[in-house]
Structure formats: structure tokens, C-alpha cells
């Protein structure tokens, strides 16, 4: 049975490595869902990233939305990596509106999806640490804070899995040439890329034989080395944990909730490492500045947060939100393919 747009909401979570799309109705019932593996960032100067969103929308609407039917939903909530500044929000919203997917468009940074998925309280702080690092927060009175996520350009340090991989390669090179302490990373880092030495990998990246962006693949390598007792690897993880704490605490202070039982929701691949020392260091750091803070790692897909935002805006009640939480799991997001059929005649 084909559904018309007044009945539907569209939720999108677009990160650095995937795009998740969900179609639902105001009762919280899932109508369609899809996941597309894609290298994506929607910030200024990144053209063409909406093509991956469109492919995921096609897959989510396959068999549900009639081709050429115009807008496929009344409201679309798009939580996207790269929506860091108001200028990003405006530009991305204009590009999305030009696609005609939904009648109304809401654009947020993907960090807000993590926060909304992680708590029903309507306020708190979220930190996303995947390929990069970002943080956003909402105060009980509705005030928001967020950080631009431009790496060193925006003052970021130890900023995510990409930084961790690059730092691991640097540590391995320094160990080999005598500028730093010996480390298991000398062997483990080049092995990941089937190379014999850190210098060989460095040269391959320099000559663009290996994509610079693949550095984030080394994040699990660092965690494994640290668990094996490597002091250099553990030092890199400690540095990143401390930067996560610094960023989250800055948001907590700006929101003026240091004395409250603020939820701190952690999302992203780095937090799925199951490294107890890493997570304990973060929790201890948070509680030094906000003793009542409640750290939790998000287990639901972040697109749940975008979908819940849609239900919030639609005025849906608690039963609809509980229904959605129960239904929308990682398992429900089937991988999309490039061959997914069109959902709207207005899409490009």
C-alpha cells in the first residue's frame, strides 16, 4: 500500500561513514528504513554528498512510496555531520529543499541526534567521537551550545579516530628513527596496510597511493596495542580521553549545569572499543567538574534521535516515542544498494 506525505516523517542521520534513513508515521510506526555505507561530510565546500542521502531514501521508500509522487513526507529532520555553523545549516537546508523530498525541512548537526536518542529529558550533552570529534548540548531552559569541528582550525586536539590513526603512525615513525620511545605500533600500524615499515606507509600516503582519510582505520589497532600493555598507545588514548572530557565539560559549564545530574551521551565508533580504562578515565574526568553527571554510551542508532525530533515537532505523545524506540534498532536498518529505486520524481 502506498503512503502519502501527510502521514509520514523522514529522519536522516548522515555521518562520516554511513547514512541512515527512516520513514515513520506520527504513531511511531516504522514504514521504511535503510543504511548506506558512504564517505560523507556535509560541510561547506563538500559537493555531492546529498547523492548518498538520496540513494538511502530510495531504499527506505522502496515498495512504500510511489515514484513521481512529489514530496514523500510532510517533515524531514536531517541530522548531518558538517552542519557546524549557521551558514552550514542555511546552505544545507536550501540544497535539501531543492530536492523536494519533504514539505518542511529541519537541519541539525548529527551530534544533536545522539543526544536526543540517548535521553528523553530534552536536555543534556552529547559527544560524538568517530572519525572526528564533536560536541553539543541543550540546557533545561532550551539554550544550546555546539562546537565547530574543523580540527586544528577550530582549536580541536586529539579529535577523533582520524587523529588517533595519524598520531599512531607518527609515534611509529618517531620510534623507528630515534625521536620517540619504542612501541608495538612500529609493527602493528604498517601491518594493517600490509606494509613492512611505518616509513613505507608514510610514503604511500604522501604519494596518494593510500588515501589520507583511511587513517581512522588505525583506531582499533591503537586500542589493541594499549590493551596489550603498550605505553605509547595507552598515552595516545589518555590524550584523546582527556580531550573528550575537556570538550564535554566546556559544554556543561557553558550551559551552567555543573551542579545538575546532566546526562552525557557518548556516541560514535571510538566509544564501542569496550576499553574499560579509556571509558573510566572519561567518567572520572567528567565527575571532577560535574559530580552528578551521568555518562552513558549510546547503543541505539543515532537516526533514532532524528526520528524522535520529528515526533517531537509533530506533537506525538509518549506511546509513539516508546513504540519507535522499541522498533528502531541497528538490525532494522538494512543496507541499501546503489540500485534502489527512485522515491520521488523530483530527486536528481
How much is the pLDDT for 40? Answer: 59
* pLDDT, tens digit (0-9, with 9 covering 90-100), for 131-166: 899 999 999 999 999 998 888 888 888 889 999 999
What's the mean per-residue pLDDT of the chain? 89
Question: Is residue 340's pLDDT more than 50?
Answer: no
d(CA 80, CA 12): 8
Question: Is residue 316's pLDDT more than 90?
Answer: yes
Edge-to-edge, what's the strand order for the sheet holding 133-138? 144-146, 133-138, 124-129, 263-267, 294-297
Domain ranges in the chain are: 5-118+300-332
* pLDDT, tens digit (0-9, with 9 covering 90-100), for 180-211: 999 999 999 999 999 999 999 999 999 999 99
The CATH class of 5-118+300-332 is alpha beta
Please provide residue 125's backbone torsions phi and psi, each rounded to the nearest 5 degrees: -130, 140
Q: Count of H helices and E strands in the chain?
A: 11, 10
Segment 313-329 mean pLDDT: 96
Amino acid at each position: 500500500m502506498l503512503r502519502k506525505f501527510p502521514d509520514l516523517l523522514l529522519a536522516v542521520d548522515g555521518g562520516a561513514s554511513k547514512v541512515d534513513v527512516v520513514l515513520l508515521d506520527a504513531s511511531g510506526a516504522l514504514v521504511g528504513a535503510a543504511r548506506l555505507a558512504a564517505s560523507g561530510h556535509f560541510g561547506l565546500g563538500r559537493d555531492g554528498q546529498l547523492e548518498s542521502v538520496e540513494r538511502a531514501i530510495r531504499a527506505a521508500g522502496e515498495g512504500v512510496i510511489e515514484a513521481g509522487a512529489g514530496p514523500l513526507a510532510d517533515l524531514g529532520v536531517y541530522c548531518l555531520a558538517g552542519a557546524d555553523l549557521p551558514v552550514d545549516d542555511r546552505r544545507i537546508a536550501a540544497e535539501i529543499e531543492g530536492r523536494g523530498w519533504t514539505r518542511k525541512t529541519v537541519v541539525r548537526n548529527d551530534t544533536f541526534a545522539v543526544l536526543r536518542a540517548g535521553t528523553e529529558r530534552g536536555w543534556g550533552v552529547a559527544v560524538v567521537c568517530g572519525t572526528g570529534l564533536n560536541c553539543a548540548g541543550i540546557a533545561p531552559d532550551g539554550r544550546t551550545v555546539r562546537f565547530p569541528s574543523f580540527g586544528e582550525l577550530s582549536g580541536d586536539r586529539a579529535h577523533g579516530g582520524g587523529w588517533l590513526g595519524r598520531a599512531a603512525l607518527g609515534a611509529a615513525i618517531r620510534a623507528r628513527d630515534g625521536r620517540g620511545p619504542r612501541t608495538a605500533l612500529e609493527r602493528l600500524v604498517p601491518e594493517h596496510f600490509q606494509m613492512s615499515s611505518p616509513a613505507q606507509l608514510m610514503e604511500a600516503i604522501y604519494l596518494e597511493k593510500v588515501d589520507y582519510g583511511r587513517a581512522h582505520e588505525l583506531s582499533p589497532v591503537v586500542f589493541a596495542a594499549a590493551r596489550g600493555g603498550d605505553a605509547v598507545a595507552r598515552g595516545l588514548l589518555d590524550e584523546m580521553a582527556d580531550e573528550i572530557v575537556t570538550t564535554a565539560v566546556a559544554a556543561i559549564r557553558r550551559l551552567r549545569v555543573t551542579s545538575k545530574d546532566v546526562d552525557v551521551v557518548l556516541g560514535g565508533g571510538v566509544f564501542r572499543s569496550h576499553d574499560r580504562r579509556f571509558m573510566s578515565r572519561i567518567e572520572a574526568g567528567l565527575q571532577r567538574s560535574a559530580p552528578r553527571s551521568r555518562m552513558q554510551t549510546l547503543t541505539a542508532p543515532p537516526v533514532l534521535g532524528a526520528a524522535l525530533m520529528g515526533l517531537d515537532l509533530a506533537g506525538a505523545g509518549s506511546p509513539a516515542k516508546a513504540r519507535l524506540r522499541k522498533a528502531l534498532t541497528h538490525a532494522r536498518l538494512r543496507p541499501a544498494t546503489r540500485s534502489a529505486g527512485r522515491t520521488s520524481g523530483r530527486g536528481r
